[in-house]
Amino acid sequence: MLVPGRSRALPGAASGVVLRLSSRRNDVCLLGAAASTNRTVSTASFTDREPPALTKPRTLAAKPRNLTPLDPTTVRLSVLVPVYNEFHTIETILARVHATPLAKEIICVDDCSTDGTREKLIELREDGYIDNLILQPVNGGKGRAIRTALAASTGDVVIVQDADLEYDPQDWPVLLEPIIDGKADACFGSRFLGGPHRVLYYWHSVGNTWLTRFSNMLTNLNLTDMETCYKAIRGDLARSLTLTSDRFGFEPEITARLAQRDARIYEVPISYAGRTYAEGKKINWKDGVAAFWHILKFSIRR
pLDDT at 38: 52
Same domain? For 34 and 84 the reply is no
| Tally of structural domains, the chain | 2
Question: What are the start-end ranges of the E strands in the chain?
Answer: 7-9, 18-21, 27-31, 39-42, 77-83, 104-110, 132-135, 157-160, 186-190, 231-234, 265-269
Q: Is 288 exposed, middle or buried (0-12, 13-18, 19+ CB in 10 A)?
A: middle
The answer as to whether 173 is a domain residue is: yes
Taking the CB of residue 190, how many other CB atoms lie within 10 A of it? 20
| Range name among 21-35, 140-154, 207-221 with the lowest pLDDT average | 21-35
Same domain? For 33 and 173 the reply is no
**Axis-axis angle for helices 142-151, 250-260 (nearest 10):** 50
Same domain? For 16 and 140 the reply is no
Q: In this model, does residue 3 exceed pLDDT 70?
A: no
pLDDT at 254: 97
Same domain? For 188 and 283 the reply is yes
Q: Are 76 and 155 in contact (CB under 8 A)?
A: yes
The answer as to whether 1 is a domain residue is: no
pLDDT at 238: 98
Same domain? For 27 and 167 the reply is no
Same domain? For 107 and 37 the reply is no
Same domain? For 173 and 39 the reply is no
159 closest CA partner among 92, 67, 245, 254: 254
Mean pLDDT of 165-173: 96
- 112-141 burial: b if 16+ Cβ within 10 Å, else e: bbeeebbebbeebbeeebbeebbebeeebb
How does pLDDT run across 245-275, given as a tens digit for each residue? Answer: 998 899 999 999 999 999 999 999 999 988 7
pTM equals 0.77
- Domain of 120: which CATH number? 3.90.550.10
The answer as to whether 53 is a domain residue is: no
Alpha-carbon distance of 295 to 264, in angstroms, equals: 20
The answer as to whether 64 is a domain residue is: no
pLDDT at 137: 95
The set of residues, in sequence order, having a beta carbon less than 8 Å from that of 13 and lying 6+ positions away, is: none
Mean pLDDT of 34-39: 48
The answer as to whether 57 is a domain residue is: no
Between the alpha carbon of residue 41 and those of residues 6, 12, 28, 164, the distances in Å are 16, 18, 5, 90
Same domain? For 130 and 212 the reply is yes
The answer as to whether 183 is a domain residue is: yes
Alpha-carbon distance of 130 to 138, in angstroms, equals: 21
The answer as to whether 247 is a domain residue is: yes
Same domain? For 179 and 35 the reply is no
pLDDT at 36: 47
Same domain? For 107 and 239 the reply is yes
Give the three-state DSSP class for 146.
helix
Range of the domain at 27: 7-45
The answer as to whether 97 is a domain residue is: yes
Compute the mean pLDDT over every residue in the chain, rounded to the nearest whole number. 85
Same domain? For 91 and 165 the reply is yes
Same domain? For 128 and 29 the reply is no
